Amino acid sequence: MSATPALQLQDLGYRIGGTEILRHLDLTIACGERVALIGPNGAGKTTLFNLISGRQRPTSGAILMNGQPIVGCTPSALYQRGLARSFQITHLFPSLTVLDNMRCALMRSFNVGLCFWRALSHHAALHHKAQLLLSQLQLTHHQDTVVKHLSYADQRTLELGLALAADSTLLLLDEPTAGMSHSESRHVVKLIRRMTEGKTLLLVEHDMGVVFDLADRIIVLVDGRLVANGTPEAIRSNPIVRAAYLGSDQTEGP
């Protein structure tokens, strides 16, 4: 495990006009750590992911990945450096097959341009890697299925696989089990655990069962501020967290 943290946020802030969305965030995530980010709706979780993944630029503070400042890098430059993100809403090509979606994601890591599209099936290493990933995702039987005909859970599973396609070392997963049944969610949690072995994970998740199952550490964001940071046991009994949203009705979620 490298001593240099995988991710550091230093006094990070984001405001839109006069409204502060994120305030003075400081956070260090070690390589290989699995951290869950929880907090009520509107707390700023997705905004924070947008800042880390280069989709929005912070208005103050710094973000470091493997010790290097990354503010100002584009999402695709960060993807090349090993940072991948899955979205709260699926971002797939709905009219392409499962296999072709996977090949498209791999093209970036294999540096294959779109003009080589026709030759893709002949690109043996890329094809092999696509099939290997689909088999790890247990989606091989769907490789020729057009994505819009997949079940929602399978689409989310494929999207998780696309985030892993570049052999990324730092993964940001935004509600990977949202909208799934209990059994689908358990299946996807197992896949996440297996396929992200040794990688650094920052995960937004509303299902507290999933959070307590997957995370080594939990951080809590309320109204743009980090209000708690600790082990699942510490967070579970933290009075600020309980007051902020575990509250009296724990079935409601963050």
Ligand X SMILES: Nc1ncnc2c1ncn2[C@@H]1O[C@H](COP(=O)(O)OP(=O)(O)O)[C@@H](O)[C@H]1O
Where do contacts with ligand X occur on this chain (CB under 6 A)?
Answer: 16, 21, 39, 41-47
Residue 87 beta carbon to Mg ion: minimum distance, rounded to whole angstroms:
10
Write the single-letter amino acid at 240.
I
CA distance 95 to 148: 6
Count of H helices and E strands in the chain?
Answer: 9, 10
CA distances from 66 to 84, 166, 185 (A): 14, 17, 31
Q: Which is nearer to ligand X, 154 or 207 (CB)?
A: 207
DSSP code for 161? H
Residue 8 beta carbon to ligand X: minimum distance, rounded to whole angstroms:
20
Residue 100 beta carbon to ligand X: minimum distance, rounded to whole angstroms:
31
Residue 25 beta carbon to Mg ion: minimum distance, rounded to whole angstroms:
16
Q: Which is nearer to ligand X, 55 or 186 (CB)?
A: 55
Q: Which is nearer to ligand X, 130 or 171 (CB)?
A: 171
43 binds, among ligand X, Mg ion, none (CB under 5 to 8 A by kind): ligand X
170 binds, among ligand X, Mg ion, none (CB under 5 to 8 A by kind): none
Residue 77 beta carbon to ligand X: minimum distance, rounded to whole angstroms:
23
CA distance 161 to 144: 16
161 binds, among Mg ion, ligand X, none (CB under 5 to 8 A by kind): none
Strands (E), the chain: 7-16, 19-29, 34-38, 60-65, 68-69, 83-86, 170-174, 200-204, 217-222, 225-230
What's the number of CA atoms in the CB half-sphere (13 Å) around residue 124? 0
Q: Cα dihedral sign for 246, 249, 253, 254?
A: negative
Pick out residues in 20-59 that bind Mg ion (CB under 5 A): 45-46
Q: Which is nearer to ligand X, 40 or 82 (CB)?
A: 40
Residue 198 beta carbon to Mg ion: minimum distance, rounded to whole angstroms:
27
CA distance 134 to 137: 5
Residue 118 beta carbon to ligand X: minimum distance, rounded to whole angstroms:
40
Q: Which is nearer to Mg ion, 89 or 119 (CB)?
A: 89
CA distance 198 to 19: 38
Q: Which is nearer to ligand X, 43 or 83 (CB)?
A: 43
Chain centroid to CA 246: 23
Q: Which is nearer to ligand X, 43 or 150 (CB)?
A: 43
List contacts with Mg ion (CB under 5 A).
45-46
